[in-house]
Structure 1
Amino acid sequence: MTGKRIYLSSPHMSDEGYEQFYVKEAFDTNWVAPVGENVNQFEKEMADKVGVNAAAALASGTAAIHLALKAAGVGSGDIVFCQSLTFSATANPIIYQNAIPVFIDSDRETWNMSPAALERAFEKYKPKAVLVVHLYGLAADMDKIVELCKEHEVSLIEDAAESLGTLYKGCYTGTMGDYGVFSFNGNKIITTSSGGMLVSNNEAKIAKARFWATQARDPARHYQHSELGYNYRMSNIVAGIGRGQLRVLEKRVEKKRQIFEFYRQELGELAGVTMMPVNEWNEPNFWLSCMTLSGPVRPLDIMEALEAENIESRPIWKPMHRQPFFAEYDFVGDGVSEEIFEDGICLPSDTKMTGEDLERIAEIIKGLWSKQGVVE
């Protein structure tokens, strides 16, 4: 193993030290609990940024999905349509609510929930909610999905954990459904080390989510609880990091875009390579640069070659309907998500990479085609 370590997508604090300013303020005022000015302002600043009425700062994106399902009225025995090509954090909260996931395939044009498969699922089931994902910062085909959900009077939840800063026809992902979810995990485009945000135009539902997130404590002098609560609220320290990170979101999106464009130029013409789809109506945040392979070079070949040089990459998410835990649940689709998983790879997309780092990665990858005796 040689060379400096290059990460897939690591935390990137601002050069200006915005995060330290807000964190220091929390320490100086002794507001280090899950309440305080940073929490309040982070919620307001996030809501203003994406253009919604209200937001609740929570301990994780998973917690935000859980509370979105609860706010949508999902309970025991209810069916939830869930995109199959995603990380398990999208689907797990369905089980938390003792509900039943039905997994929906992706389409090749977006890598996200297929409206055609969703329509077929509606012919078979009557769900309580639809959970769509904007994978790797690529927006789903939201017009058709929103239309279907309205037609069937079903709540729509957007898992925008990977797509903060992505625009669909001028609207931020996470704002077109009834609820939107963002994640600030350490590898996301901006991070608070951990944490998430639930957003909605329904201020009453967000207020209720905050109530559930703070152990559902009733407004009584003594400790009284009339509903089941959760310890899901974001701390004032973590929120301070988030406020600082939000100030550099555009810089991070621009760097991610440059990384993708570099890969597209350097690798896009290699035999069998197809870069992840970018549609004319989609302005992705390019959280991870991904591609699929149909030639003799396979994703594992690239991953092993990069790993040997101390460079991190990883496979595309394994679809939920292929996961052992979710094997018993139905799947509606034609196997597109499985093909993307089998053929796909996530390339190093760290915003701290230099031009030399990118050149090094490209040369390693192109070398695999040279060994096969084919370049274009």
Structure 2
Amino acid sequence: MTATTTAQRERILLSTPDVGPLEERAVADAVRSGWVAPLGPFVDAFEERVAERCGRRHAVALSSGTAALHLALLEVGAGPGSVVVVPTLTFAATANAAVYTGAEPVFVDCDAGSGNLDPELLEQALATLRRNGERVAAVVPVDLLGRCADYERLLPVCERYGVPVVSDAAESLGARRGSRPAGAHGLAAAVSFNGNKIMTTSGGGMLLTDDAALAQRARYLSTQARQPAVHYEHTEVGYNYRLSNVLAALGLAQLSRLDEMIARRRRLRERYAALVDAVPGVRVFQRAGDDADNCWLTAVLVDPAEAGWSAEDLRAALDADDIESRPLWKPMHQQPVFAGARSFLDGTSDRLFATGLTLPSGSALTDDQVDAVEGSLRGFLGRHR
């Protein structure tokens, strides 16, 4: 037995914040500046830098990626009596943002290779909704695990039906699709700086768009819809959605390190791929064509009939070694809160959920932690060879 007992060992997590002295100095500078409350020069600079990185004219720094989705959907007309088409393989926030507006989320299944919204099923869904006389306010593709959706096929489908696209790029900052960066697709896009994302502002997000009026309206609503009066004047309901100046300073420091953090996550993926490439029935998810991905989370897919063990078997073994792993997103159509929701399904998301497992992927993982994960994986694979 080693000197470090199981009780003393720190659990290895999927994706923790990667912060250090640079971020500490940036936050201290923001505090010393006196701009502690929401808004300020660091917010302005952060918006400018992210807009530039994502190839957009306008950016609005907000308290979360969910807030960005909510405001974007409001601005494209989502509300009671409308529907918003959402991939079923996503985190709940994508669907929740539609519900916040009063719209009905309609779920569509995914492509097997990427886990992103299936363009053919999307066309079926939009055709059916049109025949039914439904008003489709938006389609919200999700860039799953750091891979941009197939916008070259999705956008023309939405254009044919006259439906705006709001891109959920919460997981894909720093990735690309062809010559365009994540966040550059659709009428508007949302990125996230949550603590587990590729870079973080603790909590936070940003709405990206080329539409000046949409950006101006989002800024207005995100500051409680306050009118330009000496007193507090409100003619409609707004939201407390703005990002603080202190957190924006943290974000600027993180953004300067984004490429190196992506590179470290990619190296982790390469190590996992080297471990499982020769294992029957096991493969790294999204491995093919991942050169433009940000590798936010690396997942493996396990065919239990061929491998002789399941993704759950592996998860339990890693958990016994104090290593966090997690299934892919549970599809929205399986979630109790959305029981009975209308869906266009072909079973792909159900299979990915049943066979997929995300592995520790954070750029903050130490060499010793990476070695520990690799050792646990090797031990499991050796026992099940």
Same fold (TM over 0.5): yes
Offset from partner CA, 1:303-346 (integer Å, 9 cap, x none) = 11111111111111100011011112111020101100010000
Q: 1:241 aligns with which of 244, 250, 257?
A: 250
The alpha-carbon deviation at position 293 of structure 1 amounts to 0.3
Instruction: State the partner residue of 1:35.
Output: 39
The alpha-carbon deviation at position 282 of structure 1 amounts to 5.6
Q: 2:19 aligns with which of 13, 22, 31?
A: 13
**Aligned residue identity for 1:93:** A
Instruction: State the partner residue of 1:338.
Output: 350
**Aligned residue identity for 2:335:** Q
Considering only aligned residues, what root-mean-square deviation do their CA atoms show, in Å? 1.5
Q: Distance in 1 between matches of 2:11 and 2:103?
A: 42
Instruction: State the partner residue of 2:146.
Output: 137
Instruction: State the partner residue of 1:173.
Output: 182
Asked if 2 retains the 8 angstrom alpha-carbon contact of 1:267 and 1:366, the reply is no
The alpha-carbon deviation at position 96 of structure 1 amounts to 0.7
Unaligned runs of 5+ in 2: 1-5, 131-135
Asked if 1 retains the 8 angstrom alpha-carbon contact of 2:147 and 2:290, the reply is no
The answer to whether 1:306 aligns with 2:318 is: yes
Q: 2:211 aligns with which of 176, 195, 202?
A: 202
Instruction: State the partner residue of 2:94.
Output: 90
Q: Distance in 1 between matches of 2:219 and 2:277?
A: 45
Q: Distance in 1 between matches of 2:289 and 2:347?
A: 25
Q: Distance in 2 between matches of 1:313 and 1:277?
A: 17
The answer to whether 1:359 aligns with 2:371 is: yes
Instruction: State the partner residue of 2:133.
Output: none
Instruction: State the partner residue of 1:24.
Output: 28
The alpha-carbon deviation at position 279 of structure 1 amounts to 4.4
**Aligned residue identity for 1:114:** D
Q: Distance in 1 between matches of 2:57 and 2:259?
A: 22
**Aligned residue identity for 2:111:** D
Other structure's SS at 2:262 match: helix
The answer to whether 1:44 aligns with 2:48 is: yes
Q: Distance in 1 between matches of 2:53 and 2:91?
A: 25
**Aligned residue identity for 2:151:** M
Asked if 2 retains the 8 angstrom alpha-carbon contact of 1:169 and 1:282, the reply is no
The answer to whether 1:229 aligns with 2:233 is: no
Instruction: State the partner residue of 1:122.
Output: 126
The alpha-carbon deviation at position 21 of structure 1 amounts to 3.0
Asked if 2 retains the 8 angstrom alpha-carbon contact of 1:105 and 1:335, the reply is yes
Unaligned runs of 5+ in 1: none
Asked if 2 retains the 8 angstrom alpha-carbon contact of 1:192 and 1:238, the reply is yes
Other structure's SS at 1:252 match: helix
**Aligned residue identity for 1:270:** V
Q: Distance in 1 between matches of 2:287 and 2:106?
A: 27
Single out whichever of 81-90 and 278-287 deviates more from structure 2: 278-287
The answer to whether 1:348 aligns with 2:360 is: yes
Other structure's SS at 2:165 match: strand
Other structure's SS at 1:133 match: coil
The alpha-carbon deviation at position 8 of structure 1 amounts to 0.7
**Aligned residue identity for 1:340:** L
Other structure's SS at 1:197 match: strand
Q: Distance in 2 between matches of 1:176 and 1:196?
A: 17
How many pairs does the alignment contain?
A: 371
The alpha-carbon deviation at position 368 of structure 1 amounts to 2.7
The alpha-carbon deviation at position 285 of structure 1 amounts to 0.4
The answer to whether 1:326 aligns with 2:338 is: yes
The alpha-carbon deviation at position 195 of structure 1 amounts to 0.5
Q: 1:103 aligns with which of 94, 102, 107?
A: 107
Q: Distance in 1 between matches of 2:255 and 2:35?
A: 20
Single out whichever of 222-231 and 208-217 deviates more from structure 2: 222-231
The answer to whether 1:185 aligns with 2:219 is: no
Q: 2:160 aligns with which of 151, 166, 178?
A: 151
Q: Distance in 2 between matches of 1:76 and 1:279?
A: 41
Single out whichever of 89-98 and 277-286 deviates more from structure 2: 277-286
Q: 2:60 aligns with which of 19, 41, 56?
A: 56
Q: Distance in 2 between matches of 1:370 and 1:27?
A: 52
**Aligned residue identity for 2:374:** A
Other structure's SS at 1:189 match: coil
The answer to whether 1:317 aligns with 2:329 is: yes
Instruction: State the partner residue of 2:3.
Output: none
**Aligned residue identity for 2:376:** I
Q: Please report the TM-score for the alignment, with normalisation by the length of structure 1.
A: 0.95
The alpha-carbon deviation at position 154 of structure 1 amounts to 0.8
